[in-house]
Amino acid sequence: MKRNLRLIAVVLTILLIFALTGCSNQNTAPANDAPKEAPKPEYPTKPITMLIPFSAGGSGDVISRQVAMIAEKYLGQPVVPKNVPGGSGAICITQMLSLPADGYTIMNHSTTMPFTIASGDLDVDIDKIQSIATVSGSAQVIGVLSDAPYQTWDELLAYSKENKLKIGGSQVNGTNHVFYLKLLDKTGLNAEYIPYDGGGDTMLSLLGENVDAIVLSCEPPTQYVEAGQVKLLGITGDERNPRFSDTPTFKELGVDGLENELIWRGYFVQKGTPQEVLDKLGEVWKQVLADPKWDEFIAKNGDDELYRDGATLDKMLRDTIADGQKYFAK
């Protein structure tokens, strides 16, 4: 009897062990059935800030606000322009580089950035900046008030021989400043350069008669030319600009070597921005330039459409720095 009881106890123990083991196996989920991470939401999921290194009303500001407005439609999030002028663009660049490289801070800049880096006045590691694309480019002009005592380039040049001119432009050692220096070098123009934080401020200085003339891209003076307040005396390029058909090129005026003096406008993020974000922004910038609103804007604006993708713009940056270093070394 005792032997039978022991046998029954052993059998029950074995059955209990198997039962517990089975429950354990049922409660342990296989590794491949573990909960999966939720997919990351597609960029962007919040508003994007667009930094503009120029004051309100200038070309970079006006164009960037139009780009931001159109880009919102394709990004599905607000793109908020923010003017950060000063320091020849250094303040704006520093702000962008101080923020995360996540695509939520985009910076506008122009040919002024590589020229200012080339001059040594802007201490920026270009390898920390990633290009998105350019959207436009513009010839450069010299303009005066319509009632000024000089109404042609030759009259302005002759007047400067006896009267040192004050010529306003956007930024120190930027595109306008380099254009001004080349004018002096090629023509002997007697003048002093007065820098402002942007094209809008520069135009106000001319209208307020604080300067005698301005050197700018086409866009800032356009409305004043159309209103009859400002006259353009010369424009860069191989041919006359259809928007300013009465304005002779400098080549026509006998000043050679200024045919390729233009200012491009591009957009940048910080290096290290995820590739999928760069791809998204690159695609959206193409959509902006294909949008009817952009076509309408550019037709009225002093700039011309100029698209270059991120890789091409990266090369343009470095080429412009190299060219500027040669010029500033003179």
Look at residue 221 in the predicted model and tell me its pLDDT: 94
Q: Give the per-residue pLDDT at 34.
A: 53
Least confident of 10-24, 227-241, 290-304: 10-24
Q: What pLDDT was estimated at residue 57?
A: 84
Q: What is residue 38's predicted lDDT score, i.e. its pLDDT?
A: 64
Greater model confidence, 159 or 178: 159
- Dihedral sign for Cα atoms in the order 303, 309, 313, 316: negative
CATH fold label, 48-138+263-328 = D-Maltodextrin-Binding Protein; domain 2 (3.40.190)
Q: What tokens does 301 get?
A: 């604006």
Say if CB 266 and CB 303 are below 8 A apart: no
Same fold, 48-138+263-328 and 139-244: yes
Q: 163 is written with which tokens? A: 């009267």
pLDDT for the residue numbered 26 = 47
- Count of CA atoms in the C-beta half-sphere (13 A) of 264: 19
The CATH number of 139-244, from 3.90.1330.10, 3.90.1300.10, 3.30.450.30, 3.40.190.10, is 3.40.190.10
The confidence score (pLDDT) of residue 68 equals 98
Q: Give tens-digit pLDDT for 211-250.
A: 999 999 998 999 999 999 999 999 998 889 888 999 999 9
Q: State how far Cα 1 lies from the chain centre.
A: 96
pLDDT at 9 over 60: no
Question: How confident is the model at residue 248, as a pLDDT?
Answer: 97
The pLDDT of residue 242:
86
Q: Per the structure block, which two tokens stand in for 12? A: 């029950």
| 3-state secondary structure at position 329 | coil
pLDDT on residue 122? 83
Please state the rounded mean pLDDT for residues 80-86. 95
Nearest one of 19, 327, 41, 9 to 173, comparing CA atoms:
327
Domains of the chain, residue spans: 48-138+263-328, 139-244
Give the tens place of pLDDT for each residue, 117-155: 998 888 889 999 999 999 999 999 999 999 999 999 999
pLDDT of residue 37: 65
In this predicted structure, which of 32-36, 146-150, 160-164 has the lowest mean pLDDT? 32-36
pLDDT at 204 exceeding the cut of 50? yes
pLDDT of residue 197: 86
Q: What average pLDDT does the structure give for the chain?
A: 88
- What integer is the mean pLDDT of 162-186? 92
Distance CA 102, CA 90 (A): 21
- Dump pLDDT digits (tens) for 253-294: 999 989 888 889 999 999 999 999 999 999 999 999 999 999
Q: How far apart, in Å, are the Cα atoms of 43 and each of 49, 77, 97, 220, 285?
A: 14, 10, 20, 34, 15
The pTM score is 0.72
Q: Is the pLDDT of residue 208 over 90?
A: yes
Output the pLDDT for position 25: 47
Residue 49, pLDDT above cutoff 50 = yes
Q: Where are the beta strands (DSSP E) in 111-246?
A: 129-145, 165-170, 191-196, 213-217, 230-235
Does the structure show a pLDDT above 80 at 14? Answer: no
